[in-house]
Amino acid sequence: MALKIVKGSIDRMFDKNLQDLVRGIRNHKEDEAKYISTCIDEIKQELKQDNIAVKANAVCKLTYLQMLGYDVSWAAFNIVEVMSSSKFTYKRIGYLAASQCFHEGTDVIMLTTNQIRKDLSSPHQYDTGVALTGLSCFVTPDLARDLANDIMTLMSHTKPYIRKKAVLIMYKVFLKYPESLRPAFPRLKEKLEDPDPGVQSAAVNVICELARRNPKNYLSLAPLFFKLMTSSTNNWVLIKIIKLFGALTPLEPRLGKKLIEPLTNLIHSTSAMSLLYECVNTVIAVLISLSSGMPNHSASIQLCVQKLRILIEDSDQNLKYLGLLAMSKILKTHPKSVQSHKDLILQCLDDKDESIRLRALDLLYGMVSKKNLMEIVKKLMLHVDKAEGTTYRDELLTKIIDICSQSNYQYITNFEWYISILVELTRLEGTRHGHLIASQMLDVAIRVKAIRGFAVAQMATLLDNAHLLTGNTQRNGICEVLYAAAWICGEFSEHLEDPMQTLEAMLRPKVATLPGHIQAVYVQNAAKLFATVLRKHEGETDSHAAQETSQLLIDRLPLFVQSANLEVQERASCILQLVKYIQKLQQKKVEVAEEVTALFAGELNPVAPKAQKKVPVPEGLDLDAWINKPPSESESEDEKPKAVFAKEEPKHSRSRHTEVDEKELARRREARKREQANNPFYIKASPSSQKVYDAPGVEHIPVVQIDLSVPLKVPGMPMSDQYLKLEEERRQKEKAERKKEKKKKREKRGKERKADSGPESEEDIAPAHQVDIVTEEMPEVSSCYFGVIKPTVHWFPVQKSSKHKKKKQKKEKEEKEKKKKKRHHHHHHHSNAGGEDSVQNGTVEEEEPLPPMSNYFLLAENSYIKMVYDIQGNHQDESKVVVSVIFENKSDSFLKSMEFNVLDSLNSKLQRPEGAGAHDSLTVPFQLPPGISNEAHFVFSVQSIVMPQKLKGTLTFIVKSDESSTHEKLDFKLHFTCTSYLITTPCYLYDAYAKLLESGDLKGSSLRLEGINMPFHHLLARICFHHHFSVVERIDSCASMYSRSIQGHHVCLLVKTTVSIDAKCDEPSLLGNVLDEIKQTFSKC
Partner 1 sequence: MQFMLLFSRQGKLRLQKWYVPLSDKEKKKITRELVQTVLARKPKMCSFLEWRDLKIVYKRYASLYFCCAIEDQDNELITLEIIHRYVELLDKYFGSVCELDIIFNFEKAYFILDEFLLGGEAQETSKKNVLKAIEQADLLQEVRRLCFLKAFRGQKHFAVQVS
Q: Does 1062 bind partner 1 (CB under 8 A)?
A: no
When the beta carbons of 119 and 870 are compared against partner 1, the nearer one is 119
Cβ closest to partner 1, residue 116 vs residue 459:
116
Q: Does 69 bind partner 1 (CB under 8 A)?
A: yes
Q: Which is nearer to partner 1, 318 or 551 (CB)?
A: 318
Among positions 13, 22, 545, 712, the unique one binding partner 1 when judged by CB under 8 A:
22
Q: Which one among 145, 212, 378, 613 touches partner 1, defined by CB under 8 A?
A: 212
Does 486 bind partner 1 (CB under 8 A)? Our answer is no
Task: Select the residue interacting with partner 1 from 14, 161, 645, 681 (CB under 8 A).
Answer: 161
- Smallest separation (angstroms) from partner 1 to the CB of 259: 17
Distances (CA, A) of 266 to 236, 250, 311, 384, 1055: 14, 21, 16, 42, 77
Handedness of CA 802, 803, 806, 810 (dihedral sign): negative
Q: CA 75 to CA 90: how far, in whole Å?
A: 16
Asked if residue 921 binds partner 1 (CB under 8 A), the reply is: no
- Picking from 62, 59, 119, 40, the residue whose alpha carbon sits closest to that of residue 87 is 119
Does residue 1022 interact with partner 1 by CB under 8 A? no
Taking CB under 8 A as the rule, does residue 744 contact partner 1? no
Under the criterion CB under 8 A, does residue 355 sit at the interface with partner 1? yes
Give the CA angle between residues 402, 406, 408 to the nearest 5°.
135
Inter-residue contact 492 to 605 (CB < 8 Å): no
Backbone angles phi, psi at 612, to 5 degrees: -65, -30
Question: Using CB under 8 A, which residues numbered 1001 to 1020 contact partner 1?
Answer: none
Residue 107 and residue 138 in contact, taking contact as beta carbons nearer than 8 Å: no
Closest distance to partner 1 from the beta carbon of 163 (Å) = 11
Taking CB under 8 A as the binding criterion, the range among 133-141, 495-503, 548-556, 1022-1030 that sits at the site for partner 1 is: 133-141
Of the ranges 269-277, 622-630, 1006-1014, 1041-1049, which one interacts with partner 1 (CB under 8 A)? Answer: 269-277
Cβ neighbourhood burial of 967 (10 Å; 0-12, 13-18, 19+): exposed
- CB nearer to partner 1: give 247 or 436: 247
Beta strands in 977-1070 (DSSP E): 982-983, 1003-1008, 1030-1035, 1038-1045, 1050-1056, 1060-1065
CB of 360 to partner 1, least distance (A): 12
**How far apart (Å, rounded) are the C-alpha atoms in residues 825 and 807?**
18
Minimum CB distance to partner 1, residue 299 (Å): 25
User: Do the beta carbons of residue 11 and residue 17 sit within 8 Å?
Assistant: yes
132 binds partner 1 (CB under 8 A): yes
CA distance readout (Å), 590 to 60, 534, 536, 741 = 97, 12, 15, 58
778 touches 682 (CB < 8 A): yes
Whichever of 94 and 767 has its CB closer to partner 1, that residue is 94
Helices (H) and strands (E) in the chain, counts: 45, 16
**Chain centroid offset of residue 540 CA:** 56
Q: Which of 43, 181, 322, 442 binds partner 1 (CB under 8 A)?
A: 322
Selected range binding partner 1 among 64-72, 511-519, 567-575, 1018-1026, rule: CB under 8 A: 64-72
Piece in contact with partner 1 (CB under 8 A), picked from 32-40, 58-66, 112-120, 767-775? 58-66
- Segment interacting with partner 1 (CB under 8 A) among 67-75, 455-463, 694-702, 812-820: 67-75
**Which of the residues 73 through 112 are near partner 1 (CB under 8 A)?**
73, 88-89, 92-93, 96, 99-100, 103-105
Q: How far is the CB of 318 from partner 1 (least distance, A)?
A: 5
> Residues 14, 35, 64, 185: which binds partner 1 (CB under 8 A)?
64
Residue type, position 53, single letter: A
CB of 272 to partner 1, least distance (A): 8
The CA distance from 984 to 1025, in Å, is: 9
Q: Give the x/- contact pattern for partner 1 in 605-624, rule: CB under 8 A.
A: --------------------
Residue 920 binding partner 1, by CB under 8 A? no
Between 236 and 796, CB nearer to partner 1? 236
Query: Of the two residues 875 and 950, which places its CB atom closer to partner 1 in the complex?
Result: 950
Is 239 near partner 1 (CB under 8 A)? yes
DSSP secondary structure letters along 32-59: HHHHHHHHHHHHHHHHHSS-HHHHHHHH
Residue 953 in contact with partner 1, rule: CB under 8 A = no
CA 882 to chain centre: 17
Which listed residue (194, 278, 424, 464) binds partner 1 by CB under 8 A? 278
Q: For partner 1, which residue of 136, 398, 799, 985 counts as binding (CB under 8 A)?
A: 136
Q: Is 35 in the site for partner 1 (CB under 8 A)?
A: no
For residue 6, the minimal CB distance to partner 1 (Å) is 11
3-class state of residue 833 by DSSP:
helix
Identify the three-state secondary structure at position 295.
Answer: coil
Q: CB–CB of 429/473 below 8 Å?
A: no
Min CB(297)–partner 1 separation in Å? 23
Q: Which stretch binds partner 1 (CB under 8 A): 111-119, 200-208, 483-491, 622-630?
A: 200-208
Between 96 and 936, name the residue whose CB sits nearer to partner 1: 96
Contact by Cβ (8 Å): 98, 128: no
Contacts 24+ apart (CB under 8 A), 962-970: 963/291, 964/288, 965/332, 968/862, 968/864, 970/860, 970/861, 970/862, 970/864, 970/865, 970/867
Residue closer to partner 1 (CB basis): 228 or 459: 228
Q: Which stretch binds partner 1 (CB under 8 A): 167-175, 456-464, 521-529, 869-877?
A: 167-175
Among 185, 236, 795, 796, binds partner 1 (CB under 8 A): 236
**3-state SS class at 1051:** strand
Verify binding: residue 210, partner 1, rule CB under 8 A: no
Pairing of β 949-960 and β 1030-1035: unpaired
According to the binding rule CB under 8 A, does residue 903 interact with partner 1? Answer: no
Return d(Cα 563, Cα 558) in angstroms, integer.
Answer: 9
Distance CA 746, CA 769 (A): 29
* 3-state SS, one letter per residue, for 200-217: HHHHHHHHHHHHHHCHHH
Q: At what angle do helices 160-176 and 181-190 cross, to 10 degrees?
A: 150
In the range 279-318, which residues lie near partner 1 by CB under 8 A? 317-318
Rg (Cα) of the chain, in Å, rounded? 37
CB atoms under 10 Å from CB of 551, counted, come to 13
Give least dist CB 269 to partner 1, A: 17
- Count the residues of the shown chain that bind partner 1, applying the rule CB under 8 A: 67
**Which 3 state secondary structure label does DSSP give 390?**
helix
Q: Which of 274, 473, 686, 999 binds partner 1 (CB under 8 A)?
A: 274
Q: Closest separation between CB of residue 938 and partner 1, Å? A: 21
**Strand pairing of 877-889 and 932-942?**
antiparallel
Min separation Cβ 121 and partner 1, Å: 18
- Least separation in angstroms between residue 932's CB and partner 1 is 28
* Position 392 contacts partner 1 (CB under 8 A): no
Residues that bind partner 1 (CB under 8 A): 3, 7, 18-19, 22, 60, 63-64, 67-69, 71, 73, 88-89, 92-93, 96, 99-100, 103-105, 124, 126, 129-130, 132-133, 136-138, 161, 164-165, 168-169, 171-172, 197-198, 201-202, 205-206, 209, 212, 234, 236, 239, 243, 246-247, 273-274, 277-278, 317-318, 320-322, 352-356
